[in-house]
Structure 1
Amino acid sequence: MALPWALAVLSLLPLLSAQSPVCDHLEAAPITNTTLQRLSGKWFYIAAVLRNSEYQNESRGIEADFFYMTPNLTEDSLLFRQYLTMGHRCIYNVSSGNIQRQNGTLSQIVQDREHFANLWLTKDPETFMFLFFPEDEQNRGLSFYARKPEVTKEQLREFHEALTCVGLQDDEILYTDGKKDQCGPLEKQQEEERKKENTES
C-alpha cells in the first residue's frame, strides 16, 4: 500500500513561474545532509489534495497516519516505518526508499514500484510538504506533514497558500484525524522492545 505522499514524480517545478512572493520559496531544491537531518524522525500526515484517482481513493480510507523516516546519509537511502489507521484498525508497514539529492525528490518502494515526490520545505521546520505530478494538472497533488498530530493556524495557512500556488483547491482537501489513531499501543510496544534490544546489545 502506497503512502499518500508516495506518488510518482521526478521533475522539478518549472511551471507557474509568475507567482506571488509567497510562492517563491516553494520549489524543489537540492537535498543536503542538513535537509535530511531535519526530516529524520516522526511525522504525522495531516492533509492532502490528490487529484490522481488511485491515490485519492486510497487516501480517503486513511483515518490517521504517522511514520518514522530514517535517512542513510552515506547510501542516500531511506527507511520508513508507517503506522496507518484504516477501518478503525492499525496497519503497520516497513518500506525503503531513495534520495535524489539534485532533483530534490525522495522516493518510496512499495510492492516493487518506486514512487517519487518533490520535497518542499516550509518556513516552519516542524512541517514539510510533498508535491506530486507538478506538470500534470489532472493528477497533481500536494500533501502536508507535521511533527504533531494537530497543527497551528499559521502552519495550516502555509499549506493553503501552497495549494493556491500549484492551482489546487481548498475544497478538495482530505484531512486525517489524530484522535482516530489506533496505532499508539503498537508503537509503544515496539519502542519498548527496541530499547530492550539496545540495552542487551
Structure 2
Amino acid sequence: MLPVLVAVLALALARAAVLPTCAPLVPAELDNETLTGLLGKWIYLMGSSKYPPHLEELRAVKHATFFFHPGSHPDELNVTEIMRVNETCVTRNSSTIQVFRQNHTLMHVDGQVTAMAHLIKSSKDLLILRHVNNGYPGLSLSARSPNVSKEQLEEFRAQLACHQFADDEIFLSSEKDACPEPGEQPGEEEATQAPQTA
C-alpha cells in the first residue's frame, strides 16, 4: 500500500510542478464596459485551432485587421474585416458578433456560418479568444497594434503549448502582408474590391 501511495504522491507533485506555467484562461465579464472596450481597431497576430475548417482559414489568412462597431442593439457588434487571403486583399463588412452575457460567449455570424468563442480576461490592449467549435479547441490573439511585447507573445505561446497545439498548428500573421485600410493609400479602392471568399 505504501509504494502505491508514494507513487500517487509523486505523480501529484509532478503535475503540480507543471501546472503553474499553464495559467487558467478566465472568461471576461461581458458587461457594458467590456463591450465598449472592444470597439475599434484590432490586428490579428496569431492563432491555432483543431477545427479543420478553421485550420484551412488560418493557413490562407496572411494578415487581418478588423473593426468592431456598435450593432443594432446592446448585445450585437458589427464587424468590418480587412485581410489578405493568400495573395488577395479582401474587405468584408457583412458579419456581426452576437453577445451572450450569461455564459461569456461571443458568436460570430457571417451569413449562414457561425463560430463561438469565449473572451478571455486580459490586458485592455489584447483580445484573446478561446474558440469553441463542435468540441474542437482554438485560441487566437489580437491586439490594438502589432507592437506586442515579447513577454505577452511568450505567455500566449505558453497557453498554446498548454492546450497541446503543435508548432505546425500555430499560424502567425505578417505585418508586411497588411492590406491598405480605407483612406490609407490612393489605390485602396482596388484592394477593397477584390473577390469575396467564403
Distance 1:33 1:134 in 2: 26
What does 1:70-89 correspond to in 2, within 5 Å?
Answer: 70-72=69-71, 74-89=73-88
User: Is the 2:48–2:171 contact (alpha carbons within 8 Å) kept by the matching residues of 1?
Assistant: yes
The question of 1:32 aligning with 2:31 is answered yes
Classify the secondary structure of the residue corresponding to 1:57. helix
The answer to whether the Cα contact below 8 Å between 1:163 and 1:170 also exists between their aligned partners in 2 is no
Which aligned pairs between 1:32-181 and structure 2 lie closer than 5 A? 32-72=31-71, 74-94=73-93, 95-122=95-122, 124-133=123-132, 136=135, 139-181=136-178
- Superposition deviation, residue 180 in structure 1: 0.9
1:23 to 2:23 alignment = yes
How far apart, CA to CA, are the structure 2 residues paired with 1:180 and 1:31? 32
Alignment-mate amino acid for residue 169 of structure 2? E
Q: By how many angstroms is 1:171 displaced?
A: 4.9
Does the 8 A contact of 2:51 with 2:133 survive in 1? no
Aligned to 1:188: 184
Supply the distance in 2 between the matched residues of 1:105 and 1:72 (Cα, whole angstroms). 16
Considering only aligned residues, what root-mean-square deviation do their CA atoms show, in Å? 2.6
Give yes or no for contact 1:105–1:117 (8 Å, CA) kept in 2: yes
The AA in structure 1 aligned to 2:171 is L
Higher relative helix content: 2
State the TM-score, normalizing by the size of structure 1.
0.73
Cα deviation, residue 19, structure 1: 4.4
Quote how far apart the aligned CAs of 1:108 are: 1.4
The Cα of 1:174 is off from its aligned counterpart by 0.4
Letter of the 1:97 partner, please give it.
Answer: I
- Does the aligned pair in 2 maintain the 1:44–1:67 contact within 8 Å? yes
Larger Rg: 2
Q: Name the count of aligned residue pairs.
A: 168
Q: How far apart are 1:52 and its partner, in Å? A: 1.0
How far apart in 1 are the matches of 2:96 and 2:162? 30
Distance 1:75 1:129, change over 3 A: same
Shift, 1:132, TM fit: 1.6
Partner Cα distance (1:140, 1:187) in 2: 37
Query: What is the CA-CA distance between 1:173 and the residue it aligns to?
Result: 1.2
Higher relative contact order (CA 8 A, sep 6+): 1
Amino acid at match of 1:115: A
| 3-state DSSP of counterpart to 1:183 | coil
Question: What's the CA shift for 1:162?
Answer: 2.1
Letter in 2 for 1:118: H
The 3-state SS of whatever aligns with 2:102 is: coil
Which blocks of at least 5 consecutive residues in structure 1 are unaligned? 1-17, 190-201
